[in-house]
Amino acid sequence: MFSRSSWLHLRIPFSYFLLPVFLFSLSISPNFNGPRMFWVFFIVHFLLYPASNGYNSYFDKDEKSIGGLRHPPPTKKGLYYLALSLDLIAIVLGFLKLGLTFALMLLAYGLISKAYSHPSTRLKRHAVVSLMLTGIFQGLFTFCMCYVGINDFGIESCFRPDVYIPGILASLMLMANYPMTQVYQHEEDEKRGDITLSIRLGITGTFYFAAATFGIALSGFLIYLYLFHGQRYAWFFILAVVPILFYFFYWFLLVLKSPKAADYTHTMRLNFISSTCLAGFFIYLFLNRTQLLQLFEK
């Protein structure tokens, strides 16, 4: 259970790529509560996500690169129990530190992530279903879960437009990125019978889909920021996504010259650039909304 290979398959650093969802939720939260912020961050990124990664790895048994692991070691039975243990710890800790609603949302996320990977359900095999579930649960649902946990609100708070609209935008961003995480895994996925969205679209089709979906998400973000926060934030968001767009189209040109460029290295670079730029913007939004930035300047 505590073997090095099992811990590697948790892919804890990979949680960084989902950090913008937490930061976005934090940036619009009205209650500035340090301990609750910490526990939501810790439980989601160091327990919930790693448990999901480990569970997924155990049933995938990938032999080639996966997200966060260039050379994944063989999986062992201990990984299965380690992933379940982290899930249980997350739920118990979530209940003790943040309340019943947050704990139940953790449970729901864990069940969906298991249905995604487990052979009896294997939602990953269904291209559109997996896209929608991944986008909704890693985006809107996690956004609302963090919002509930940070602010000590009930689930009803998630049905307000100022909460579910940014949550939907987070889902759109993740839907744009989702097939890009599959673009270098066609051989492994086809071997298991997982006909992913990227396989259906093809390599170039995956890039076209990502560009179109990201364009919709970008437009939505600009309208949302302009209406809810002000024109200045919309301009800063444009500046934040410029490096993402630049690298995406640079990589696409490489792929058009040689499909072999659709590889693990370029995928992880795009993920890192996207996460870093978006995280930076949401931190800026958080510091301004809480007036901490003005305090630091003084």
3-state DSSP of the chain? CCCHHHHHHHCHHHHHHHHHHHHHHHHCCCCCCHHHHHHHHHHHHHHHHHHHHHHHHHHHCCCCCECCECCCCCCCHHHHHHHHHHHHHHHHHHHHHHCHHHHHHHHHHHHHHHHHHCCCCCHHHEHHHHHHHHHHHHHHHHHHHHHHHHHCCCHHHHHCHHHHHHHHHHHHHHHHHHHHHHCCCHHHHHHHCCECHHHHHCHHHHHHHHHHHHHHHHHHHHHHHHHHCCHHHHHHHHHHHHHHHHHHHHHHHHHHHCHHHCCHHHHHHHHHHHHHHHHHHHHHHHHHHCCHHHHHHC
Cα(61)–Cα(31) distance, rounded to whole angstroms? 42
Q: Is 227 exposed, middle or buried (0-12, 13-18, 19+ CB in 10 A)?
A: exposed
What's 200's domain CATH number? 1.10.600
**pLDDT at res. 292:** 61
Q: Which two tokens stand for residue 18?
A: 């989902």
**pLDDT at res. 37:** 96
Cα(59)–Cα(80) distance, rounded to whole angstroms? 9
- The conformational region for residue 62 under phi > 0 = left, psi -120 to 50 = alpha, else beta, is beta
**pLDDT at res. 60:** 85
**pLDDT at res. 189:** 81
Say how many Å lie between the first and final Cα of the chain, rounded.
Answer: 50
State the total domains in the chain.
1
**Residue whose tokens read 């200045």:** 232
**pLDDT at res. 128:** 92
Q: For 66, how many CA atoms within 13 A lie in the half-sphere containing its CB?
A: 21
> Whole domain around residue 257: which residue ranges?
4-297
Answer for the pair 123, 133: CB distance below 8 angstroms, yes or no.
Answer: yes
**pLDDT at res. 294:** 52
Cα(185)–Cα(137) distance, rounded to whole angstroms? 22
State the pTM of this model: 0.95
**pLDDT at res. 61:** 83
Residue among 107, 83, 276, 68 at smallest CA distance from 185: 68
Mean pLDDT by 10 residues, the chain (298 residues): 84 95 97 93 98 92 80 90 96 98 98 91 89 96 98 96 97 95 88 86 96 97 96 97 98 96 95 97 92 54
Answer for the pair 230, 222: CB distance below 8 angstroms, yes or no.
Answer: no
Answer for the pair 62, 74: CB distance below 8 angstroms, yes or no.
Answer: no
